[in-house]
Structure 1
Amino acid sequence: MQPQAHPTETLLPDVFLIESAWEVCNQVGGIYTVIRSKVPATMPAWGERYCLLGPYFPNQAQGEFEPLDELEVHTGSDPYTSAVRAMRAQGYDVCIGTWLVTGRPRVVLINPFQVYGQLAQLKTNLWQRHGIPAPDHDDLLHQVIAFGHLSKIFMQHVAAHVPAGKRLLAHFHEWMTGVAIPDLRRERVPAHIVFTTHATLLGRYLAMNDPDFYDHLMRVDWQAEARHFNIEPAVQMERAAAHGSHVFTTVSELTVRECIYLLDRMPDAVLPNGLNIERFVALHEFQNLHQQYKSKIHEFVMAHFFQSYSFDLDKTLYLFTSGRYEYHNKGFDLTLEALARLNHRIQASGMDGQVVMFFITKRPYTSINPQVLERRALLDEVRDTCRAIEQQVGERLFYAAAASQDHKLPELGEMVDDYWKLRYRRQLQSWKTNVLPPVITHNLGDDRTDDILNFMRRAQLLNHRHDRVKMVYHPDFVSPSSPLLGMEYGQFVRGCHLGVFPSYYEPWGYTPLECVARGVPAITSDLSGFGDYVLQTIPEPEQKGIFVVRRQEKTFHEAAEELCDMLWNFVQLNRRERIMQRNAVESSAELFDWKNLRVHYDHAYGLALERQ
């Protein structure tokens, strides 16, 4: 049953809320998006009673964190400022200030390295008190243990400064911050504790290595598998946090089963992830933005392909997938298989048009492929020459028009100097080549073992002229500083026609949601938390431009055929139908706004406050 929406500010006016996450002012992965995007919906409800807590890493925080004025720290009377003052009096290095994001929430950041001298004792305590082992040579675990100890001290001080009759809620995200929970309970710190696992650590490892992960889940020996993957300490911390919290939550119905079998506790509530949709809304400009950023992608495609052969850009569709490089978990394997089938199907049909498919992920590389850079540079030279000719012809045509007596359009070629004619001809001669366009934009450290490249080689998806699905593997994040695409990731998404994310393991999945927020149709799967949520809450989601591949209880090849059918149906749409679909997608984005989904958090907080 869905919890009923209610204004937290009227239900919990006597409660202070600390939300702790490793990615506060520290962008590492998806939790950063969860926390940051939720702030604008959280602040109106909680205001000054809300505080975020995270580790202090100066290089990460410098662009996002604004320290509080020292006078405010010395005179502030709220529990958070008072706790920081008390910790500083004990000699701790603690920062308090504002996160420079929409909503500007109060933030406390604590340097974990300051207690590294106590690590031996802290690890001994973890083992003796909670049975959690900690090896000697894992620096992330050391940071986590140190931060957990400092978090506990901060919570103790906050609890001591909460006014009489008021209560304290502490919400921890993921095992990296949840390590503080066992000691908070052991020392009876008066806080109501919520713990959220966004993806069980062991579940992610198992899914990457077991193609039948969901079938085998109920038979997993969690401790043996954790030892096998050398992650037992982190898994033990995650289990201790789940069992120590008053309320245990996860982000989708899909991960509920994982929690039962891998953490041995049934979640009390499901907290689906949303976005701050206002941040993406372009009012009625989203169609114009699509055209604007599509033209930037056109520039890349012309440079990348047209040196070898050309095709009609007006009949070309841009598809993409993105995310962490987890070949099986992210559904890259399924996407490639469906694209190979689509390529054959379009060729056999004789249909006009092309598909250019972008794979955007992060891989170790040595450099950008010089051939790709050279193609771009040569096309830029051709463009400069064309602009010079355009200017010369324009000036002479204007003069000729003003002086004309016969109203006829003059021969434009005669208005171009021989120098520019020769330069134009020579540049085109040096520009054209018979070499196939590269399928990858960068030189990988080891491309022989790369699963994406190896599939392309086996399936002969190598950008032949006759291929109707062209491939661009971009093993780096999209950014404005890149000499290839030269735009923000969000702009690139807006310029594409379809996002493809048929994940095998995805506890939630922001990539399709980010498409929807920008008015771009997206494909997800029923094995992603987002796709499962869509199936449960939106009747006929395909009418809203959200397509869900059914992977549960289907073979890989059955799912690949279904995905191929979805892509085939999409490429057959005409321009007007695609515009209508983008309109439908844009109108559905509001369903995933944090203003609507925050109710699930309110429900979990209400449960925690009922428990001692």
Structure 2
Amino acid sequence: MPLARSLSMTSLNGLPQWEDEDLPVEDLLLFEVSWEVTNKVGGIYTVIQTKAKTTADEWGENYFLIGPYFEHNVKTQVEVCDPPNPAVKKAMDTMKSQGCQVFFGRWLIEGSPYVLLFDIGSAAWNLDRWKGEFWDVSNIGIPFHDREANDAVIFGSLTAWFLKELSSQFDGKPHIIAHFHEWQAGVGLILSRSQKLPVATIFTTHATLLGRYLCAASIDFYNNLDQFDIDKEAGERQIYHRYCMERASVHCAHVFTTVSQITAVEAEHMLKRNPDVVTPNGLNIKKFSAMHEFQNLHSMYKARIQEFIRGHFYGHLDFSLEKTLFFFIAGRYEFSNKGADMFLEALSRLNFLLRVHKTDVTVVVFFIMPAKTNNFNVETLKGQAVRKQLWDTAQSVKEKFGKKLYNALLK
């Protein structure tokens, strides 16, 4: 077998040809596999969550999400129930009978899609055996100290095991499609192909693994895409095994997709395969199809932001909120990778121009980036408390005065 980074969709043939050009949804089962199903790590969680309703509406009872089980997430995000599909239930029961904990329910988000969650910890005793099996089919070795990669092997092995138990129950229809997101889920794809399971596979990268590392190192990435020694760069960052997992997943997938044209160019150089389809991330514009509804929401939330600003800058509110612009930047706490450096530079230039033109416009900026917080700003909390007390007092006076005025006018 060729090296893992050279595996392609032709090197692991075994998927039967589907004769129908337009297969009805009733004859299909779609499984979307990601480490971020019910488990918020980064932006992929939001991508999956926001498109779940549309997918669930189109696929109905034949759409399932597969992810890792974490008790604290399930308690707040999942309503546990029995699988509606008997084949899915039988596959789960088989895995449970062999010591694996598998959970099923509805994800409590818009669309309420079905989720199938594997308890990684309950299956960890298989890790050494599964790492050996993964080595046998891919020649990719996983270091014992890389917990994230080890978890990916367990998660992928459980996913492939489930798909095997499920597909073995069918003779032809329904056809199974498995859509894998990012390298953490890729092991399941590689094993499914190596076992020649009758499953059509899709792999989506939202940004290449090595690309993330290179960008974080403040390297002029996009202008030097064709200059990098990929193996050397991955090795120096001690992520060569992860890179191999990602690249093998890309080349084993029947269909490879990315989420933007620039990521497609990145994948061509980093992963050595052109995407078959580009599926851009976007907004569900139908949600705000009624303009008056959008305007009402905008007005309501702007008022909330203004109330927060009044409390936050209590005692120093020397600017007009009606002439204030609110800017936001959100993402992982990565200074250059998420554009915070460019954002700050742009704000500096904007501040200079506002001062030169002596404008009375004020700009308030929100940086929304999750990070470890050690304490609270006591003065800010005190300001919010005073603001609320003033508001409550004003409302009380308003109500009392309003009643007296109303009664006086009636006389």
Partner of 1:218: 226
Report which stretch shifted further, 144-153 or 45-54.
45-54
CA distance in 1, matches of 2:137, 2:100: 24
* Among candidates 53, 56, 75, match of residue 62 of structure 1: 75
Query: 1:105: Cα distance to partner?
Result: 2.6
Residues 506-549 of structure 1, C-alpha deviation per residue, up to 9 Å, x if partnerless? xxxxxxxxxxxxxxxxxxxxxxxxxxxxxxxxxxxxxxxxxxxx
Query: 1:13: Cα distance to partner?
Result: 4.7
Q: What is the letter of the counterpart of residue 135 of structure 1?
A: P
SS in 2 for 1:103: coil
CA distance in 2, matches of 1:119, 1:363: 31
Partner of 2:11: none
Question: Taking structure 2 as the reference length, what is the TM-score of the superposition?
Answer: 0.86
Q: How does 1:68-87 map to 2 (within 5 A)?
A: 68-69=81-82, 78-87=86-95
Partner of 2:60: 47
Please say if residues 38 and 274 of structure 1, whose CA atoms lie closer than 8 Å, have aligned partners that are also in contact.
no
1:233 aligns with 2:241: yes
Going from structure 1 to structure 2, the CA distance change for 1:191 and 1:240 (only over 3 Å counts) comes to same
Please say if residues 35 and 184 of structure 2, whose CA atoms lie closer than 8 Å, have aligned partners that are also in contact.
yes
CA distance in 2, matches of 1:382, 1:164: 70
Residues 583-611 of structure 1, C-alpha deviation per residue, up to 9 Å, x if partnerless? xxxxxxxxxxxxxxxxxxxxxxxxxxxxx
Partner of 1:142: 150
Partner of 1:521: none
Query: 1:177: Cα distance to partner?
Result: 0.9
Q: What is the letter of the counterpart of residue 250 of structure 1?
A: T
Query: 1:137: Cα distance to partner?
Result: 2.1
| CA RMSD after TM alignment | 2.5
SS in 1 for 2:375: strand
Partner of 2:309: 301
Q: What is the letter of the counterpart of residue 192 of structure 1?
A: A
Residues 137-187 of structure 1, C-alpha deviation per residue, up to 9 Å, x if partnerless? 232222211111111110101111224344222211111111122222222
SS in 1 for 2:100: coil
Q: What is the letter of the counterpart of residue 247 of structure 2?
A: R
SS in 1 for 2:29: strand
CA distance in 1, matches of 2:229, 2:94: 45
CA distance in 1, matches of 2:382, 2:154: 49
* Among candidates 112, 115, 140, match of residue 120 of structure 2: 112
Q: What is the letter of the counterpart of residue 344 of structure 2?
A: L
Partner of 1:29: 42
Going from structure 1 to structure 2, the CA distance change for 1:51 and 1:23 (only over 3 Å counts) comes to same
Query: 1:200: Cα distance to partner?
Result: 0.7
SS in 2 for 1:180: helix
Q: Mark the structure with the bigger radius of gyration.
A: 1
CA distance in 2, matches of 1:391, 1:34: 46
CA distance in 2, matches of 1:398, 1:87: 72
Query: 1:327: Cα distance to partner?
Result: 1.5
Please say if residues 81 and 96 of structure 1, whose CA atoms lie closer than 8 Å, have aligned partners that are also in contact.
no
Please say if residues 35 and 68 of structure 2, whose CA atoms lie closer than 8 Å, have aligned partners that are also in contact.
yes
Q: What is the letter of the counterpart of residue 353 of structure 1?
A: V
Going from structure 1 to structure 2, the CA distance change for 1:18 and 1:378 (only over 3 Å counts) comes to closer
Please say if residues 310 and 317 of structure 2, whose CA atoms lie closer than 8 Å, have aligned partners that are also in contact.
no
Aligned length: 391
CA distance in 2, matches of 1:376, 1:93: 46
Question: Taking structure 1 as the reference length, what is the TM-score of the superposition?
Answer: 0.59
Partner of 1:290: 298
Residues 399-441 of structure 1, C-alpha deviation per residue, up to 9 Å, x if partnerless? 77678xxxxxxxxxxxxxxxxxxxxxxxxxxxxxxxxxxxxxx
CA distance in 2, matches of 1:204, 1:97: 33
Partner of 1:274: 282
Going from structure 1 to structure 2, the CA distance change for 1:77 and 1:60 (only over 3 Å counts) comes to closer
Q: How does 1:89-488 map to 2 (within 5 A)?
A: 89-279=97-287, 284-387=292-395, 389-390=397-398, 393-394=401-402
Going from structure 1 to structure 2, the CA distance change for 1:119 and 1:262 (only over 3 Å counts) comes to same
Going from structure 1 to structure 2, the CA distance change for 1:188 and 1:307 (only over 3 Å counts) comes to same
In structure 2, runs of 5+ residues without a counterpart are 1-20
Partner of 1:487: none
Q: Give % identity.
A: 40
Please say if residues 40 and 276 of structure 1, whose CA atoms lie closer than 8 Å, have aligned partners that are also in contact.
no
CA distance in 2, matches of 1:106, 1:386: 49
Going from structure 1 to structure 2, the CA distance change for 1:353 and 1:371 (only over 3 Å counts) comes to same
CA distance in 2, matches of 1:56, 1:84: 14
Q: What is the letter of the counterpart of residue 366 of structure 2?
A: F
CA distance in 2, matches of 1:256, 1:225: 20
